[in-house]
Amino acid sequence: MTGVQIYIPPFLQSYSEKTSRDYVSGGTIMECLTALVERFPRLKSQLFDIDDKLRPSLNLFLNDSRIPSHKLSHKVKEGDKLYIAHVISGG
């Protein structure tokens, strides 16, 4: 497969037809997430709030780097891996 590989964590797989990863096309992280939501529309409400901003309970990692939610315009290239992760907090 070609494109950007997105890893979907177990807690979101019920919204992606049990898919754990998918390949999408896009030039930015946001374009890739949009392509993923087009394929699995039920994911939209889990990834984005009503203002189409990434939910604060999620982290994104591109290859080995964490991407802040305000940097969804960050460029991606074919072969990149995008990971969606749940924020873990506690004290």
**Structure-block tokens of residue 32:** 């890739």
Number of folded domains that form the chain: 1
pLDDT tens per residue, range 16-53: 999 999 999 999 999 999 999 999 999 999 999 999 99
Q: Which domain holds residue 71?
A: 4-86
One-character DSSP codes across 35-76:
HHHHHSGGGHHHHB-TTSPBPTTEEEEETTEEE-GGGTT-B-
Alpha-carbon torsion angle 44, 50, 10, 35, nearest 10 = 30
Residue 56 lies in a domain: yes
CATH number of the CATH domain containing 72: 3.10.20.30
Alpha-carbon distances of 77 from 46, 62, 86, rounded to whole Å: 25, 10, 24
Residue 63 lies in a domain: yes
Q: pTM of the entire structure? A: 0.92
Q: What number is the average pLDDT over the span 8-14?
A: 96
Residue 22 lies in a domain: yes
Nearest of 28, 88, 24 to residue 58 by alpha carbon: 88
pLDDT tens per residue, range 66-87: 999 999 999 999 999 999 999 8
